[in-house]
Homo-oligomer: A and B are copies of this chain.
Amino acid sequence: MALSAGQCFAQLDQLSEDVKKIFYHALTTEQSYHWLRSLCKDVGPRLAGSPGDLKAVEWSSTLMRDLGFDTVHILPVTVRHWERGKEKAVLKVDGKKIPLAVTALGGSVSTGSRPLKAQVIEVRDFDQLEALGEQIKGKIVFFNYRMRKDFISTGSGYGDAVKYRWSGAAEASKFGAVAVLIRSVTTRADDHPHTGILTYQDAPVKIPAGALSYQAAERLEQILKKQPNTILELTLETFERDPKTSYNVVGELFGSTYQDKVLLAGGHLDSWDLGEGAHDDGAGVVHSIAAAAYLKQLGIQPRHTIRVVLFANEEFGLDGAKKYAQWVKESDTKKILLAVESDGGGFSPRGFTLDAPDSIVQKVREYRELFYPYGIYEIGKGGSGADVNQLKFTGAILAGLRVDGHRYFDLHHTIRDVFEEVNPRELEMGSAAMAAFLLIFDRLIFN
C-alpha cells in the first residue's frame, strides 16, 4: 500500500503520539516492575528443571491470561537438569587455611562431597596452557584471564573473556588437569563468583570446573607468586539429574488485520540458581509481556498479531529456543515477520540491533527519531539474541534490545542478580521501548 506524503506525515504523527502514550503509561503504572518483583520474590530462582522453573511457567501463563491475552499456551520442552551441592575452595598456606569464594560452573561434573586436593597452576591463556603442556598434569588449572575493561561495550569484554569459562575445562583436561578454576567473567572487584555454562566438547575426561570471585582470584594470584606449589582443596559437588519437562510459554494478542502474521517479542524464563534472575532474564520476561500488554491496555490494537514467547532453558543450552524453532517449522500456522529479544538486563534502553538485510536496517533507521525523546539513539545492524536467533531459518527480521550495559557484568550469574538491583524507571523505559519497536514494525515497516 503506497501512501501519499500527507498520509505518511499523519501516520508518523499518530505513531509519535502513541509512542509518547506508551512511555507515559510505562513510567506511571510501573507494572513491569511489579511483575518483576513477583517473579523474583514469589517465584525466585528458576534453573531449568527445578521446581522454580515450573512455578515460573505457571506464574507467567497466569499473568498473561489475567492480562487478557487472546491465547496463552505452553509447549513442552525436555530440559537438562543439573544442580549444585557443596562448594568450597581452601588454600593451604604455611599451615593456615585460606578460603576462596568459588562456585561451580553450570554443567560441571562433581568432585564428590570430599575435596579434591592438588597443586594449582596459573595459566594466562590457552597459548600458555599449550606451552606448559606436561606441567599441567595432575594439577588444578587456574585460568587467570581478566575481563578487559577497555571495551566500551561490556558485552564485547564478556565475549572476549568467556571462552575460558566455556571451554577451559575441555582444553585443560587434554593436558591431564584434574580440575579448572577460572577468574569470574567480570570487571567488578567484589567477592561474588559468577557461574555460567561450560561445555566439555570432545574432551576425553570431564573434569570439575568452577569460578573464583574477582577478589579470590586476586588472592590466589598473589599467593601463587610467593608460593607456586600451593595446594588447593576443592569441593564442587554437583548433580546431573534426569532430564525434566519444562515449557516455552507463549501468549498472543491477535492482530486486527493480519492475524496470521506475527511480531514476536521474547526473553528467557529460566535463570541461574544463584540470585533471582532479575536482570537475566526476568527483565526480558516482563519487557516482552509489557510490550504486548501495554498496547492492549492503551487500546492500541496492532494490525499484526503480537506474540510473546518466554523461552525455556536458555542458560543450559537453548533447549527451549531450539524446540520452539522446531515447533515453528513443523506446526506454526502463522508467519513470523519479526522476532525481537530482550536479554541484556533491565537497564536504560539505548537502542536496537537488527539482524536483517541492509535495506531493512536502513528503513528502520529512517524512523529512529521517534525514539530520540526517550534517549534511544542506536538503531543499527547487529546480533539479535541467543533465543530468537534460532528462528533465523524463518527469514524473519531478528532484533535485540540494547541497554546500558555498564552494570550488567557486575551482577550477571551471581547472587547479586536480584530485584533490588533493578531500577523501576530504567526497567519501564525498556518495556516502553519494546512496545514502541513493535508498533513501528506494525505500522511502518510491514505495510
Contacts and interface: CB of A to CB of B under 8 A. Distances in A.
Interface stretch (A147-155, A177-185, A212-220, A236-244): A147-155
A59 interface: no
Contact of A374 (B152, B187, B373): B152
Contacts of A149: 27-28, 30, 425
A389 interface: no
A435 interface: no
A307 interface: no
A23 interface: yes
A404 B404 CA distance: 10
Contacts of A28: 149-150
A150 B404 contact: no
Contact of A152 (B375, B377, B378): B375
A413 interface: no
A24 interface: yes
A348 B424 CA distance: 17
Contacts of A426: 406-407
Interface string A217-240: 000000000000000000000000
Interface string A398-433: 000000101100100000000000011110010000
Contacts of A188: 424
A443 to B, nearest CB: 22
B154 A425 contact: yes
Nearest to A375: B350
B423 A406 contact: yes
A380 to B, nearest CB: 11
Tell me how many chains of this kind the complex includes: 2
Nearest to A153: B375
Nearest to A151: B27
Interface string A363-390: 0000000000111011000000000000
A432 to B, nearest CB: 10
Contacts of A407: 423, 425-426
A19 B424 CA distance: 33
Nearest to A188: B424
Contacts of A378: 375
Interface string A34-50: 00000000000000000
* Max chain B Cβ within 10 angstroms of own Cβ: one of A152, A377, A423: A152
B406 A24 contact: no
A382 to B, nearest CB: 14
A345 to B, nearest CB: 13
A7 B36 CA distance: 54
Given A404-B404, A429-B406, A152 B348 contact: no
A27 B147 CA distance: 12
Q: Which 5 A-B pairs have the closest CB atoms?
A: A406-B425, A377-B377, A27-B149, A24-B150, A406-B426
Given A24-B150, A406-B426, 9 more contacts: A23-B152, A27-B149, A28-B150, A149-B425, A152-B374, A188-B424, A348-B348, A375-B404, A410-B423
15 contacts: A23-B152, A27-B149, A152-B373, A152-B374, A187-B424, A348-B348, A348-B406, A350-B375, A375-B378, A375-B404, A377-B377, A404-B404, A406-B423, A406-B425, A407-B423
